[in-house]
Structure formats: C-alpha cells, structure tokens
Amino acid sequence: MPLLIALVPALLLACHGKTGGETGGPVLDDSGTGGGLPTPEQVVASAAEGDTVHFSGVVHALTFDSIGKGSGEDDEDTWSRLPGRWLLVWSAPPAGVQHQDLALADIEKDSTIRLGWGLGIALDPAADPGLDLPRIGETVEVSGTFHNATWNGHPVPVVEDPTLLARSGSPLLAAGQGCSRDTDCIDSLVCDRASQTCAPATEIGWGSLWRDVDGHCYADADCPLGQVCDTSFVVADKGEFSWRYDAADKQGASICVPEQPEDALATCGRIDRSDDLAGGRYTEGKELCIRGTVALVAAAEDGDSHVQLQVDEPIPYPAMDADIFLFGATTEIGPPYKDPARPQGAQPDPAMGQEIIALGTYRWDGGHGWFEVHPLKQWWPAK
C-alpha cells in the first residue's frame, strides 16, 4: 500500500439494479448479432430516458465507481468504492479505444469515456451474491430501462433494473457445489478447503490473517485449495525478506505456494485477463490467475515489486492514484516470495513487455483506489 519509490519515473517511462438469478431462454452464440435484436450502439442512438429496451451485445468490461483523493499515506480509507458494478457491452470495439490508439490528453474527455463505455448494465452483486456475472467476450441478451446516468463525473448511457435473458458462456459453480479451486466458483465465492465446496469468503482487510497480504501459513489447511504450505522454508522475522504486516502474528510461519508449480493450467483452472483484475469483478480473498503483458515493474517502499499489467482497453475505469492508462492493473510480489533462501529460489520480477500468467490473492487497496493481486505467489510465461 505505501507509495511507490519509482512511480513517477516509471510512469514517464511507460509514457444499480437487479438481475435474474437464473438465465432463461436460449444460449446465444458469440456472433454478437443476438438473432436480429438491436445492438447496444442502436440502443444508445435511439432510446429515450425511461424507455424499455431489449438488446444483445458482447461484454467488454466490468467497472465500478469510487470517491477519494490520493493522500500519499498508508491509509486504506483514502479511496472508497461506491455500491454497484456496471457490465459494459458493445457489438464490436470502436476505433480509438485500444491502448495504442489513446493519447493522455484525451482519456478524461467525455467523448472518449462515452466511446470506451459502450452501454452499461447496472448491477448490484452485493444484493445478489449468487449472481454469475457474464465474462468478457460473452454475448448476452438483456432487457431493462434506459437511463442517462453519471459515472465518475462523466455522462454515460446505462440500462437499469436489467434482466439477463440469455448468455453464450457456461455457468460457474454456485454455493454448495463441489470445487477443486477458487476459479471453479462464481466470482463472489471461493472454494472452501474443508468442505471442497463453493462458499462465501471470510471478511478480509489489511489486518486480516486469512489469505493475508503476505501469504503466510503454518499448514496446508491455511492455504487455498491447489496450494500447499512450504514448511521447508520459514520466513525470517526481521530483515529485507521478512513479513510486512502483523509480523508478531506470523512468527515461525511459512508461505503458500502452488501444489503443481510447473503447470499453470493445472494450478489455475480458469485464467482471466488484466481487465477483470482492474474492474472489481471478484470477492476479496479469491485466488486468481490473471494473464497480461507487463507494462512496468516498480519498487515500493515496503519491499514489494509492483508488476503492472497493461489494460488493453483502459477506458473506462474510475479515478485512482495512478492512471490505469499509464500504470496498468496492479500485482505485487511480497518480500517473503523474493527471498533467495527459498528452496524454489526467489520469485523474480518479469521483464517489461513480457506476457505472463500471475497467480495470487485478490484484494482492494483503499490507499490507492484500485483492486490488486497481492501477494503474487508465482508467475509463468504465457504460451
């Protein structure tokens, strides 16, 4: 959470509605045509305030809203998430929204935000924890009420009180269903190790010991399914590679590592994208595998390595300490994982421009206003 030592030079270098809990109707294909239904672009162009709309489109992002202002302090309350999420759809990516097409001077313009937004579907996952959010790239059929709204200070078109009528993707596992890893379960659930079923996560924060920011453990039972506690290595209580949070509660502890470290697919199951990481899709404490291109690597004051993953379509995500267009989506390798005394050796920093798959724990960093994977327990070169 502390500010990055190398943030400024690195950046210069890099220069609420409801849904049906069950999906009805046919399963859509991925053509984006929706069997002749209007597209999101047609809805935006023709719908009036309060109109009932029925359309089909392709999911390209999930986003959230927040309020706050960077303080430069280690304060997890600097930024606050606002309720709800917006599932963003279009029929195809418009010109001018890819990372390589954008200019820093344009990314906060209303016109650019609107272009990158498409049409937003207002959701409230907190009110419907069993919601299986459609994934990026899925085709969805939706009905609801058209509304002109404000998001992050910008005017955007949204559909409120939506009903998800059909989708092209396969459903993930719901509460109580058997699982072998967190990614088997819907985004709001984790795979409980004791019961091996999908279940709500334990409440998490920077002071929480469950799936904590240091990845500590005393036995396999302390680690997520698919990981083991490497008791052959005990983290030092002091020094460069020691614990960074609540060290007094972790004396003599080890760290969680993949059970099959040589096999990314066996470890991960489902592999998502840097866009998913940035958009607030998951419950905190969930173990994820995220694929992305390294935008930059920067050192932090607390010894973490920030491995920032480029977001290919960086609009729209809300304000945060560092613009996601330049800084990317955050993953962090903690000091215990960087210790060369580990039997596996130190977890190295990947190279800028390298495409990787990163495994780690999802959490909210209210000191900077972004979601992140922390700790990053292992990464693999993406094939």
pLDDT digit string (tens) for 169-204? Answer: 999 999 999 999 999 999 999 999 999 999 999 988
pTM: 0.90
Q: Is residue 83 part of a domain?
A: yes
Q: Would you say 61 and 279 are in contact if contact means Cβ atoms under 8 Å apart?
A: yes
Helix (H, G, I), strand (E, B) or coil at 279: coil
Residue type at 134 in one-letter notation:
P
Q: Is residue 197 part of a domain?
A: no
| Structural domain boundaries, residue 61 | 16-167
Q: Is residue 104 part of a domain?
A: yes
pLDDT digit string (tens) for 196-250? Answer: 999 999 988 877 899 999 999 999 999 999 999 999 999 998 999 999 888 899 9
Q: Is residue 256 part of a domain?
A: no
pLDDT for 30 beyond 50: no
Specify whether the backbone of 295 is left (phi greater than 0), alpha (psi in -120 to 50) or beta: alpha
- Residue 198 CA, chain-centre distance (Å), reads 19
Q: What pLDDT sits at residue 3?
A: 39
Q: What pLDDT sits at residue 162?
A: 97
Q: What is the mean pLDDT of the chain?
A: 89
* C-alpha span between 41 and 62 (Å, rounded): 18
Q: Would you say 30 and 167 are in contact if contact means Cβ atoms under 8 Å apart?
A: no
The rounded percent of the chain whose pLDDT value lies above 70 is: 89
CATH code: domain of residue 62: 2.40.50
pLDDT digit string (tens) for 66-112? Answer: 998 765 455 567 899 999 999 999 999 999 999 999 999 999 999 99
How does residue 126 score in pLDDT terms, banded at 50, 70 and 90? confident
Strand partners, 375: none
How does residue 6 score in pLDDT terms, banded at 50, 70 and 90? very low
Q: What pLDDT sits at residue 76?
A: 61
How does residue 35 score in pLDDT terms, banded at 50, 70 and 90? low
Alpha carbon of 50 to those of 1, 84, 143: distances in Å?
42, 20, 12
Q: What total number of domains does the chain contain?
A: 1
Strand blocks (E) in the chain = 52-63, 66-68, 79-81, 85-90, 119-123, 139-151, 154-167, 189-192, 197-200, 216-217, 227-229, 254-258, 272-273, 287-299, 305-309, 329-333, 355-365, 370-381
Q: Is residue 92 part of a domain?
A: yes
Q: Is residue 70 part of a domain?
A: yes
Higher pLDDT, 320 or 383: 320
* C-alpha span between 308 and 292 (Å, rounded): 9
| Closest to 19 (Cα-Cα) out of 119, 130, 170, 115 | 130
Q: Is residue 185 part of a domain?
A: no
Q: What pLDDT sits at residue 94?
A: 95
Q: Is residue 155 part of a domain?
A: yes
Q: What pLDDT sits at residue 201?
A: 95
Spatial CB neighbours of 200, under 8 Å, sequence gap ≥ 6: 129, 175, 188, 189, 190, 283
